[in-house]
Structure 1
Amino acid sequence: MANLLVLMSVVGVFCKHNFVHAGFTTTKLGPQPIWNSTHTDKLRQDLLLNYDKFARPAQHYNVTTVRLGFTIRHIELNEFKSSLTVYSWINLSWNDEKLKWNSSNYGDLTALNLADHEIWQPDIFLYNSATSTAITHYGNVHCIVYEDGTVLWVPPAQFTVLCNLNLKYWPFDSQVCKLILGSWTYNGDQIDIELYKNQKEADMDLLVENNEWNIVKTSLTKNMKYYSCCESPYPDVTIELVLDRISPSYKALIVTPAFVIIILILINFWLPPQAGEKIVLNGCTAVIICLFMLYFTQKIPAMGTHTPLIVLFYSSCLYVVGFSMIASVIVIWLSRTKHGSPLPWIIKHPLTGTFGKLLGLGTYIQQSSITSHRITAEEMRDHQVTDFEENNSGDEHHIIKSSTKMPIQHDWILLAAAIDRLSFCFFCFLLLILTIVYSI
């Protein structure tokens, strides 16, 4: 046995001599510091060696308070999808009890930058998100950890929310959209949310303005909600945005043509009753309205409710043009058709009196009375001649009969002009009512 021990020691010395002679050295097992390591390297190793980023950094009976701030960078509103996209910076701050150190042990290092995937983060998500397939809202930026365990994370965020848009007063509408942020899995006994530095309004110092929408008001409020499934409350922060549409260009594109359309409808009734241009004018007005209706279909989504008033106004104007076309056809038919029977006295008498003058029919009344007076005198003279010249009685009677057709035709033109004037008054009243109703 003694000889065996001596032999083993000799073999060990021989092997060690050969390893050293070959250039191999024995190393101590375990983590060794790297060359030129800094206090930051040592602090990272000490903090993250056994760190579990999936465990909330507090005792299960303690609450982790998350302070939330919000900065708006830009907004985009999509009427066809009823969604609002907010480009923002979100400010999140909390205390991590597992990330504390004494700065004197690490060269007075008081802050450390860590990647977002290295440490625990609160699962603050958008409750009313419109993109459920991409629930991660935040960009991959580093966190700043301080020696007392405070973690500050300010990532860029893109939130897309569903909005209940009301386009009734388009293009002079105002919309209200809300962003509801809260923890997805933790209740209020585990994670509580507070407003960062008691922020009541969203910060807009870095806002890049939208060309169509103006943010007139923002508000941040904390809410505590109770659900039927759970006894503990679920806190959230509601960010409300009030948006006003920038509409000066719409006044030139939509409102001004609306007044022109009204004028075109009304001046149609001041054309002469025999003028065929009435049909042309009404047709052109109808085409203009149809073009605007096509423009609205491209600009505004088809909505079951809250139909824009401007769309209803243009569609009503199209009905008005249709009825104006019917009135114009009737007026042209009355004034151009050769009538064999005179205008009934019960209709003609008011038209040639005060009522007709109130309608502005003075010119037509004067023409009708002058023609009637001239024909009556000729008839009397011709009748006297026929007493002495019986041979020519047949020819004179034919002349008198053909001449009496002139006042009959002027009477019907007078009636057509009266219909035009009455239609003008009626459509003025109708368009005034439409303007008042659709502008409120």
Structure 2
Amino acid sequence: MTVYCWVKMFWSDEKLRWNSSDYGGLTRLYLADHEIWQPDIVLYNSASGTEVDHYGNTHSIVHEDGTVLWVPPSLFRVFCDLNLRRWPYDEQTCLLRLGSWTYDGDQVDLQLDDNEAEFDLMVQNTQWEILGLARKRNVAFYSCCSEPYIDVTFALTLKRRSPTYNALVLTPIVAIVALTLLTFLLPPNATEKVLLGGCTALIVCLFLLFFSQMLPAMANHTPLIVTFYSCTLMMVTVSLVLSVLVLNISRTLHLMNVPWQLKSLLIGRFGICIGLGNYIRLANAEQHGMIGGNLGEEMREHPLDDQHGEEHHMIPMERQAHEPSGTSRTRTMFYDWILVAAAVDRLALLLYCLLFIVLAAAYI
């Protein structure tokens, strides 16, 4: 943290006292910094290495009673122990520890005045907002010496301004969650499911790369928003696996029926509750021969109706011999497996909605 400020220091110098009546009513002097003694107050926790000259070369005001006022413009650079866990809504506290470099507490006794820090002339920072400034006087004793060593600590509490980060980081979360959930709302046999999931995974990877470039590597405090994106990437990857599974179920020619226990569960109240009403009607209509060839072609996307086609020849010869309506049964089985694939999508949709709510409550 870099702080530009004015430091107001008072001290009393007995060698600079005089009677104003002896000097024509002169009550104050303006003296350069090299003309009088000044306390060597330095920043103990400076991040500038060996540089200890924090103050500008401004004049001091000396009063006739020996009181000296020095208000130099100052530049302080310190290291802050950042906790970015709540980034970009984080609050940070940085410490400025000032004390004499060569004098102990018996020679230079640092005190804090009763006035609070003045922010009237402060230039607003575009990224940080100052919430408060706490001051504390510390007296330390060391094993080497009997005299006290005094320093003053200023604790500056900052809050990050977040409107820009809302647009850059938080708003895309809504789009990523929506794209992930839309994957499960596409028809079970739509190949666009894999394309949509792959694009979503690419977007999440780009954001994680953006975070790696923007945020410092923190050993103890991983930002919650980064954890959210990492978990989202894993969930998107799992959704791609589920999409491939659903496509395999819905587009493969199955030679065995859906187990009756499973089908009865899906065509019952449970299936209606999870939004399978349309697929249940299609399966029932196909079972009763109420679906025309054109609609069947649109749902299957491969020529199951063609009795001389490739899929027809995939039916065992024994079944074709003993079951003249084998193709009709294949159509019925196809719609039953479409129903199973749609059920997998709907259950995954409900599960992902729950997981995203939990992640949002925990990490945002």
TM-score for both structures, normalised by structure 2: 0.88
Question: Any residues of structure 2 matched to 1:269-284 within 5 Å, and which?
Answer: 269-284=184-199
Q: Does 1:252 align with 2:167?
A: yes
In the TM superposition, residue 424 of structure 1 has moved relative to its aligned partner by 0.8
How far residue 237 of structure 1 moved from its aligned partner, in angstroms, is 1.4
Write out aligned runs for 1:64-83 (5 A): none
Residue 228 of structure 2 corresponds to: 313
Given candidates 115, 119, 135, the residue that maps to 2:32 is 115
2 CA distance for matches of 1:291 and 1:222?
Answer: 48
Counterpart of 2:42 in structure 1 is 125
Partner SS, residue 151 of structure 1: strand
State the match for 1:265 in structure 2: 180
2:148 to 221, 230, 233: 233
Separation (CA, whole Å) in 2 of partners of 1:225 and 1:205: 34
Instruction: Please report how far the alpha carbon of residue 160 of structure 1 lies from its aligned counterpart in structure 2 after TM superposition.
Output: 0.8
Maintained 8 Å contact 1:88/1:156 = yes
Q: 1:395 to 1:288 in 2, by over 3 A?
A: closer
What residue number does 2:99 align with? 182
Tell me which residue corresponds to 2:76. 159
Deviation at 1:159, TM superposition (A): 0.7
Is the 2:250–2:338 contact (alpha carbons within 8 Å) kept by the matching residues of 1?
Answer: yes
Tell me what 1:210 maps to: 125
Where does the alignment leave 5 or more consecutive residues of structure 2 unmatched?
291-318
| Paired letter, 1:405 | T
CA distance in 2, matches of 1:150, 1:395: 113
Match of 1:192 among 97, 109, 117: 109
Give the share of equivalent positions with the same residue, in percent. Answer: 52
Distance 2:329 2:22 in 1: 124
- The one-character-per-residue Cα deviations of 1:381-418 (angstroms, maximum 9, x if unpaired) are xxxxxxxxxxxxx9996641222211011111111011
How many angstroms apart in 1 are the aligned matches of 2:182 and 2:355? 15
1:274 maps to amino acid? N
Q: Does residue 345 in structure 1 map to residue 260 in structure 2?
A: yes
Rounded to whole Å, the distance in 2 between the matches of 1:405 and 1:115 is: 101
Deviation at residue 269 of structure 1 after TM alignment: 0.6
Alpha-carbon separation, structure 1, partners of 2:288 and 2:213:
62
The CA distance in 2 between the partners of 1:416 and 1:372, in whole Å, is: 18
2:62/2:68 contact within 8 Å kept: yes
Q: Which residue, 337, 344, 352 being the options, matches 1:419?
A: 344
Q: Secondary structure at the match of 2:257?
A: coil
User: What is the rounded CA distance, in whole Å, between the counterparts of 2:9 and 2:289 in structure 1?
Assistant: 99
1:331 aligns with 2:220: no
Selected match of 1:358 from 270, 273, 279: 273
Aligned-residue offset at 1:110: 2.1
Partner Cα distance (2:104, 2:143) in 1 = 13
> In the alignment, which residue of structure 2 is the partner of 1:41?
none
For residue 297 of structure 1, what is the aligned residue in structure 2?
212
Larger radius of gyration: 1
| Alpha-carbon distance between aligned partners in 2 of 1:319 and 1:106, rounded to the nearest angstrom | 83
Can you give the 5+ residue segments of structure 1 that lack an aligned partner in the other structure? 1-83, 376-393
Distance 2:77 2:248 in 1: 61
Distance in 1 between residues matched to 2:28 and 2:281, nearest whole Å: 101
Deviations 1:317-341 (A, max 9, x none): 0000000000000000110011111
Normalising by structure 1, report the TM-score.
0.73
Deviations along 1:170-208, one digit per CA (max 9) or x if unpaired, are 000111111111111211111111123x12x31111101
**What SS is found at the alignment partner of 1:192?**
coil
1:430 counterpart residue number: 355
**Distance in 2 (alpha carbons) for counterparts of 1:189 and 1:395:** 108
- Alignment match, 1:3: none
On the 8 A contact 1:202/1:220 being kept in 2, the answer is: no
Q: 1:143 aligns to what?
A: 60
Q: Is the 8 A contact 1:202 1:219 kept in 2?
A: no
Distance 1:396 1:339 in 2: 18
Matched, 1:410 2:335: yes
Say which of 239, 243, 246 aligns to 2:158: 243
Q: Deviations over 1:303-354 (max 9, x none)?
A: 1111110111011100000000000000001100111111122222211222
SS at match of 1:414: helix
RMSD of equivalent CA atoms: 1.7
Residue 370 (1) aligns with residue 295 (2): no
Is the 1:111–1:147 Cα contact (8 Å) retained in structure 2?
yes
